[in-house]
Copies of this chain bind each other. A is one copy, B any other.
Amino acid sequence: MVHPLVLTLSCTDRPGITARVTSFLFERGGNILEAQQFNDRAADAFFMRVEFDPGGASADSLREDFAAIAGAFGMDWKLVSRDRPRRVLIMVSKFDHCLADLLYRWRIGELAMEPVAIVSNHPREAIGHTHLGDIPFHYLPISRDGKAEQEAQVRKIAERTGAELVVLARYMQILSDEQASHFAGRCINIHHSFLPGFKGAKPYHQAYERGVKMIGASAHYVTSDLDEGPIIHQAAEPISHADTPEELVRKGREIENRVLAEAVRLHLEERVLLNGRRTVVFRS
């Protein structure tokens, strides 16, 4: 049975990287299943993702041997199992459509993840519709002056459960700079507007007031700069003058669901690489 690996890397662009990397894999008996590269000529940077069947080679030995190449090219890199479910911590407030959607996709095997914890600043009853099954639920309210402490608890849960990814599935709290830094590159938020339009609170009401003719949603990595993190995925849909803010909220839920689920899928499959404040997204 095949246990594919994924190699992702980025470095300064120069001739011969692809040849070196793919020759390495070939010499070790690897067989490429899918490969993409991006030569960012403006930034003189190179990005690559290779999915391969390692044949007889172990991930550990490949990692060990690849380190020399990576060193020579000054690469940021990662060589991991493609199919191992990543441990995911999901945070939510009162609107649980994204949570319900993610859990459904997980249950039918669409998302290769293992939900290790659900954290909310509201009690379990707030999301009573959603079937959590055995996933531990943590009610961590934020008292006045208690944000730092609550965030410490979240970090503790993340650490204890080995969470590799934190998903803010309509978690209506702003993370502190400290928390954003702690989860840098492994915390995805869904913002319910087509960024950079309508940052901050109540974007659908902002959209209604402005009279735009489309609404959207944006999934991005969380940074200390609110709604300014690297965007992974966005989508938008037409609306009309007859759409009240309530209608926009309804229409928006659907867009939020699919934008967040797609971003999470892309991240879980190691398809998203950071390129400064932007992302490189290698779709198949």
On A, residues with C-beta under 8 Å from B are 15-16, 18-19, 22-23, 25-26, 29-42, 97, 100, 104, 107-108, 110, 129, 131, 194-198, 210-214, 216, 218, 230-236, 238, 240-244, 247, 250, 253-254, 258, 261, 275, 277-281, 283-284
Partner of A194, one of B18, B197, B233, B241: B197
Q: Is the CB of A129 within 8 A of B110?
A: no
* CA of A35 to CA of B216, assembled, Å: 28
Q: Within the assembled complex, what's the spacing in Å between the Cα atoms of A33 and B275?
A: 17
Q: What 7 pairs between A and B have smallest CB-CB spacing?
A: A211-B278, A19-B22, A197-B197, A19-B23, A19-B26, A213-B234, A16-B26
| Distance in angstroms between the alpha carbons of A241 and B39 in the assembled complex | 10
Q: Which residues of B contact A100 (CB under 8 A)?
A: 104
Distance from A106 Cβ to chain B, minimum over Cβ atoms (Å): 10
For A197, the chain B residues whose CB sits under 8 A away are 194-197
Q: Is the CB of B241 within 8 A of A213?
A: no
Interface SS majority for chain A? mixed
Given contacts A196-B212, A231-B211, contact A41 B32 (CB under 8 A): no
A152 to B241 Cα, complex, angstroms: 35
Q: A38-B241, A214-B236 known; 11 other A-B pairs, CB under 8 Å?
A: A23-B23, A36-B36, A108-B129, A131-B131, A194-B197, A195-B212, A197-B197, A240-B284, A241-B279, A241-B280, A247-B284
Nearest CB of B to A210, in Å = 6
B97 engages A108 (CB within 8 Å): yes
Chain B residue at minimum C-beta to C-beta distance from A258? B254
Nearest B residue to A219 by beta-carbon distance? B213
A214 touching B216, Cβ below 8 Å: yes
Residues of B within 8 Å of A218, CB to CB, are 212-213
A40 to B32, CA, bound (A): 11
Which B-chain residue is minimally distant from A275 (CB atoms)? B241
Residues of B within 8 A of A253 (CB): 110
Q: In the assembled complex, which residues on chain B have CB atoms less than 8 Å from the CB atom of A194?
A: 194, 197, 214, 236
Is there an interface contact between A233 and B213, defined as CB atoms closer than 8 Å? yes
Question: Given that A15-B30, A36-B36, A197-B196 are known contacts, is A231 also in contact with B213, CB under 8 Å in the complex?
Answer: yes
- The reply to whether B41 and A33 form a contact with Cβ atoms under 8 Å apart is yes
In the complex the two chains form, is B42's CB within 8 Å of A244's CB?
A: yes
Of A194, A277, A283, chain B has the most CB atoms within 10 Å of the CB of A194
Chain B: which residue is nearest A106 at the CB level?
Answer: B129
In angstroms, Cα B31 to Cα A16, docked, is 7
Q: Which residues of B contact A25 (CB under 8 A)?
A: 19
Q: A19-B22, A31-B15 are in contact. Are A211 and B108 (CB under 8 A)?
A: no
Question: Which residues of chain B come closer than 8 Å to A30, judged between CB atoms?
Answer: 15
